[in-house]
Structure 1
């Protein structure tokens, strides 16, 4: 290496000028102190298996729960029964896990751990003996008023027989015996979504005050919050234009650094 190459090349420093050292920025580990994590207590009580609330969520590994902590269980003869109750914090057993496959926008197919698809027989008994998905192997999840029932190809809803705990589809209406929960273990879409910033946590009144503190500047350092009705803020939050409405409310106070 030549003597010239040994010379360190850098910016020109004038006489009397102080060098400024660069500060290293360290990424915060974990969440901010002001951040909050919402815990799904219901999912925790079921071993992390969370309750589906729309058909788009019924895919991959699922468990059909009737009552509390009891799931539909596949037998090696192609029939189904209601499994034994689980303790709190436990999910479904391997033989109680089914695979949900989307057929179209309204219907799904269900496959047991034995690799067979579920269908309803002429006697209304649910069996898992089909090798492929046809019209008889399609099920329609029906959500209404926060409740779920599963409609079979025969126009009847899945339930558990009271006498022998076998799984059947014999009722044309969805009563309390036909109400179920379909639980999933797949990662939810909103699990990877960033949580709300600190300014947007709390009530709408708190949110507006947080943004006033962040953006409005006064020489006397006193907060000036718009006193007009906040009736439109909830609608703005739902429609995704909350920031615009808050900016408009602050602009009327003529103190926002982003307002003219």
Structure 2
């Protein structure tokens, strides 16, 4: 058999680029993270973890025969499950379900959270801003302007990237069929099944914001290196920014740092130096 050659033109002196294969998923995750950083801030993306669910949020469900999204009808002041197929055009009819994006403001919820808390609040993006709530009987509504325990939800990102929402009573939000074949939201499911799995999309800028917060937390947890000159300047400098750096007390400073009393030791040294200066 004759050898198949590449049809790409090559010129004398061109360097041959070798392709490198990565055996782990680290390279692909880094490339994906880099692609997300280059995206438009308002691009709709799927969250990889619960902390990334924030800001404008699009929630939809792969119902059959038509997928639905969670809407809020500000005219009737109620939650509506809107068929997404009604919004399809010739351009989007062949688009995979996971690539759907909101087409109306009523399809967007605003996710807020208290810093450090795993729970979130979902507020309507239209009207007066009502919070999605669920009572002890599993009745889901959006008619409250203040948030409380019944307005708290804990998002759980599943292995396939879909999301389940657990309420304050440790029950899950789900799609339920009622009389007449209509669909409505309920919040009384004990387990996560097909009805309790939702696709969630957020805007790229808020996902990136979550990553930046994580980096800051990791930086706070690491032990800072002790720079004697800069540390002494912070705790001992006075007047025109004069800094007194000790050459004989390094052992004492290192021991104080290990024992967690570095600031106290430096302040004592500052007081002693001031008293020696004015005596």
TM-score, length-normalised on structure 1? 0.51
CA shift, 1:91, in A, is 1.6
Aligned residues of 1:79 and 1:126 also touching (Cα < 8 A): no
Of 189, 192, 201, 1:174 maps to 192
Partner of 2:117: 105
Aligned residues of 1:70 and 1:82 also touching (Cα < 8 A): yes
CA shift, 1:125, in A, is 2.3
SS in 1 for 2:48: coil
Of 154, 162, 166, 1:140 maps to 154
- In terms of fraction of residues, the more helix-rich structure is 2
CA shift, 1:171, in A, is 0.5
Of 46, 55, 61, 2:50 maps to 55
CA shift, 1:182, in A, is 1.6
Aligned residues of 2:43 and 2:204 also touching (Cα < 8 A): no
Distance 1:174 1:90, change over 3 A: closer
Partner of 1:128: 142
Task: Give the paired residue count.
Answer: 154
1:88-137 CA-partner distances (Å, limit 9, x unpaired): 36521210100000134310001012301110134422111111111111
Partner of 2:105: 94
Unaligned runs of 5+ in 2: 1-30, 213-279
Structure 1 vs Structure 2 CA RMSD: 3.2
CA shift, 1:51, in A, is 1.0
Aligned residues of 2:59 and 2:201 also touching (Cα < 8 A): yes
1:184 and 2:197 aligned: no
Aligned residues of 1:78 and 1:127 also touching (Cα < 8 A): no
* Runs of 4+ more than 4 Å apart: 37-40
CA shift, 1:155, in A, is 2.0
CA shift, 1:50, in A, is 1.1
SS in 2 for 1:74: strand
Unaligned runs of 5+ in 1: 1-36, 194-260
Aligned residues of 1:81 and 1:160 also touching (Cα < 8 A): no
Greater relative contact order (CA < 8 Å, ≥ 6 in sequence): 2
Q: 2 CA distance for matches of 1:156 and 1:149?
A: 10
Q: 2 CA distance for matches of 1:112 and 1:170?
A: 22
SS in 1 for 2:155: strand
SS in 2 for 1:177: helix
